Amino acid sequence: MTATVTTDRLTVTTDRLTRVPGLLYGGDWNPEQWPEQVWAEDVKLMAEAGVNLVTVGVFSWARLQPDADSWDFGWLDRLFDLCHRHGVAVDLATATASPPAWLVRAHPELLPVTADGVRLEFGSRQHYCPSSPAYREAAVRLTRALAERYRHHPALALWHIHNEYGDHVQECFCPDSAVDFRRWLRERHGGIEELNRSWGTAFWSQRYTSFEQIEPPRTAPGPVNPTQLLDWRRFCSDALLALHRAEKAVLDEVSPGVPVTTNFMSMLKALDYWEWSRHEDLVSDDAYPDPADPRAHVNAAMNYDLMRSLKGGRPWLLMEQAPSAVSWRPVNVPKRPGLYRLWSLQALARGADGVLHFQWRASVAGAEKFHSAMLPHRGTAARGWQETVRLGAELRRLGEIAGSRLRGRAAVLLDWDSWWALELDDHPSARMRWPELLRPWYAALHERGVTVDFVPPTAGLDGYPLVLAPNLYLLDTATADRLTAYVRDGGRLVCGPFSGIADRHDHIHPGGHPGPLRELLGIVVDEHWPIPDGATTAVRLDGAAPDGPRSDGAEAHAEPHGADLRAERWSEWIETEGAETLARYASGTLAGLPAVTRNRLGAGTAWYLSCHLGADTGRVLDLPLAEAGVGAELPDLPADVEATRRHAADGRQYLFLLNHGGVERRVPLDTPGTDLLTGAATGDAVTLAPLGAAVLRLPAAEERP
Ligand code: GAL
């Protein structure tokens, strides 16, 4: 929702997620689990906590539609009215994530089937085949019934389609899926000969003479055709998206003007969120960082940066987080005092305009009865409730940040197609997994206080002084050409190993790796040299290592004295073709060969890391960061302090300072401001307690002293 506000001084355009003013605060509310008397207490306590948005109906299908021909909306009508009377807006779910027993028994074919042919039973949730006509018809019918009934209700602020597509069921191998897969393949490839070429079916006698011969990639005796698997990944994302779009079309038709979202699951392999987010009015995310992991906030920051990036920097909504412990890890550690607040502020720091939870009131029955809630089992005497009330009050103080935006100082390329292809079987190493390749790059940037945006391979890169591509295994020539043009025009690209390998059919680019990146990077790969588990290869940064490879395999992976960095998982035997060598392998068979290179092309520069440097990645990234002039949001940022800056349309800035460490930190400031959390004016520094935070309003440049 974009609102234009005209004041006597200027006209500003703000992005509002919904018509609810300020930041959004609340959670999933499952009132059907409780007698209605409890609802009255719920709304009273919501007011006390400052809750202004609740998500209802997520798992209400069986209650809303007791059988094929009857509906029970009375309870939801009363709930809507109750919410409205108490000033709580409703995010109404379409309730389609858990089909009821009567539907499943009438249409047993809608239950999903695994690759081994096992049909999954009713009794949990998300038990549906994404391609089932029976499921889709029933889901669309329910969506229409809800939309027609509540479209004009004044409490309705947001539509919430389904719930976490791809959480439990990402693919189904049943006959309905086979039919849908063939339809999808026909659309993609046109004819069977095109498919044969794309899938390389000359290999192992896999040639098809008709689409009818094709099945989903069920469990087979040996390795399955990789392009079939890649098309399957694409199809599965599209099949779920088609379901989502069917519901979205109904909401757009029947309830225009009310924004629509579905809750994403952070960086999820199964769904191409670039494609999905085109069909969202706003992006929302569910995030469950593990309180037992001292670095969980780094991963969370990465996911939040992605969520912000999916709609080009527009504010997004944290749709679900746990107020304290979850119930689905082997050991579910609660959030120690202060962590819930800090992690909530972190989502805002990275562009969210609201913090919602799973769930409002803790369940007493069912699989999630040990999951924390805003209102714990102990009730208002619980520590958790005090934190709920405190955070609500703080979010009200932060209301003015709604609609302000962040912009990354560098871009990270993320391509689901490449991710899927990278992780197919029978590669030189099964250890090349996208999240594990990306994480150390992101962690290095996070540690240096650099905010990044994620961008799809089709993105215009012009505004970014630096683009990072931790891996581009699958790369079509059009994207390679765009990257080359970006560098020629003065851009800086840093590319990670095992890139430029395959085209979009997962066929190897001819003429040597890295295929279409060869000229841009000024190198050629002679052979991939994966590093065995547990071993490392030394890499020396100054390029001063002796020339030439070793023939002495016996010393492979032993680290000689003086080596600077350690490569793990992966290395490559590369030769330069115009690039200069910045670092060389310093142990093992590749000792003396280039490990990190830099190539000047046109007005720009392209770096290549031929190995995975894990925790040492940042020491190489420092070079391009310095050349590109990309630095931290604040200079002299102490360890463990995260700093981001949101910009308002009127020129004000909101500087978030979050101390993720266990030690008090003093953060020097270049501009004094006002801490919105305390109302206090700051001097030339802010002191943050362990797990402490400050959100500083900094005046617009022209208002600064
Ligand atoms: C989410 C889901 C919620 C609830 C929550 C528990 O994945 O959307 O319904 O199950 O996890 O952490």
Shortest-distance Cα residue to atom 12 of ligand 1? 326
Alpha helices by DSSP H, 152-272: 175-189, 192-199, 226-254
Shortest-distance Cα residue to atom 5 of ligand 1? 358
The residue type of 606 is A
d(CA 359, ligand 1 centre) in Å:
8
Q: Is residue 514 reached through a cis peptide bond, with omega within 30 degrees of 0 on the bond before it?
A: yes
Shortest-distance Cα residue to atom 2 of ligand 1? 164
d(CA 284, ligand 1 centre) in Å:
14
Q: What is the mean pLDDT of residues 389-403?
A: 98
Per-residue pLDDT reduced to its tens digit, 653-685 = 999 999 999 999 999 998 999 999 999 999 999
Domain with CATH 3.40.50.880 in the chain: 410-628
Q: Is the pLDDT of residue 544 over 80?
A: no
Atom of ligand 1 nearest to the CA of 326: 12
How many residues are there in the chain? 705
d(CA 192, ligand 1 centre) in Å:
42
User: What pLDDT sits at residue 563?
Assistant: 62
Residues whose beta carbon lies within 6 Å of some atom of ligand 1: 163-164, 167, 286, 288, 320, 322, 326, 358, 368, 371
H and E: helices and strands count for the chain: 17, 28
Q: What is the mean pLDDT of the chain?
A: 94
Task: Give the residue, out of 320, 324, 335, 357, with the most ligand 1 atoms within 8 A of its beta carbon, to mutate for a pocket test.
Answer: 320
Atom of ligand 1 nearest to the CA of 322: 12
Atom of ligand 1 nearest to the CA of 58: 9
Q: Is the pLDDT of residue 556 over 90?
A: no
What span, in angstroms and rounded, lies between the C-alpha atoms of 593 and 101?
A: 63
d(CA 12, ligand 1 centre) in Å:
37
Active site residues: 164, 320
What span, in angstroms and rounded, lies between the C-alpha atoms of 87 and 53?
A: 9
Kindly report the CATH class assigned to 410-628: alpha beta
**DSSP per-residue letters across 100-131:** -HHHHHH-GGGS-B-TTSPBPPSSSS--S-TT
Atom of ligand 1 nearest to the CA of 167: 7
Per-residue pLDDT reduced to its tens digit, 284-306 = 999 999 999 999 999 999 999 99
CA of 31: how far to CAs of 87, 213, 669, in Å? 17, 49, 47
Which residues have a Cβ under 8 Å from the Cβ of 458 and sit 6 or more positions away? 479
d(CA 547, ligand 1 centre) in Å:
55
d(CA 614, ligand 1 centre) in Å:
31
Q: What are phi and psi of 693, to 5 degrees?
A: -150, 155
pTM of the model: 0.96
Strand partners, 156: 90
- The continuous run of DSSP H or E covering 296 comes out as helix 296-310
Per-residue pLDDT reduced to its tens digit, 323-372 = 999 999 999 999 999 999 999 999 999 999 999 999 999 999 999 999 99
Domain with CATH 2.60.40.1180 in the chain: 641-703
Q: Is the pLDDT of residue 687 over 90?
A: yes
What span, in angstroms and rounded, lies between the C-alpha atoms of 519 and 524?
A: 9
What span, in angstroms and rounded, lies between the C-alpha atoms of 450 and 410?
A: 8
CATH numeric code, 641-703? 2.60.40.1180
Shortest-distance Cα residue to atom 3 of ligand 1? 358
Shortest-distance Cα residue to atom 4 of ligand 1? 358
Residue 561 pLDDT grade (very low, low, confident, very high; cuts 50, 70, 90): very low
- The continuous run of DSSP H or E covering 71 comes out as none
Residue spans of beta strands (DSSP E) within 480-569: 492-495, 523-528, 537-540, 565-567
Residue 1 pLDDT grade (very low, low, confident, very high; cuts 50, 70, 90): low
What span, in angstroms and rounded, lies between the C-alpha atoms of 697 and 310?
A: 26
Residue 2 pLDDT grade (very low, low, confident, very high; cuts 50, 70, 90): low
**DSSP per-residue letters across 644-683:** EEEE-TTS-EEEEEEE-SSS-EEEE-SS--EETTT-PBP-
What span, in angstroms and rounded, lies between the C-alpha atoms of 610 and 590?
A: 11
Per-residue pLDDT reduced to its tens digit, 494-511 = 999 999 999 999 999 999
Which residues have a Cβ under 8 Å from the Cβ of 568 and sit 6 or more positions away? 531, 535, 536, 537, 612, 613, 614
- Which of 132, 120, 420, 418 lies closest to 270, judged by CA? 420
Residue 542 pLDDT grade (very low, low, confident, very high; cuts 50, 70, 90): confident
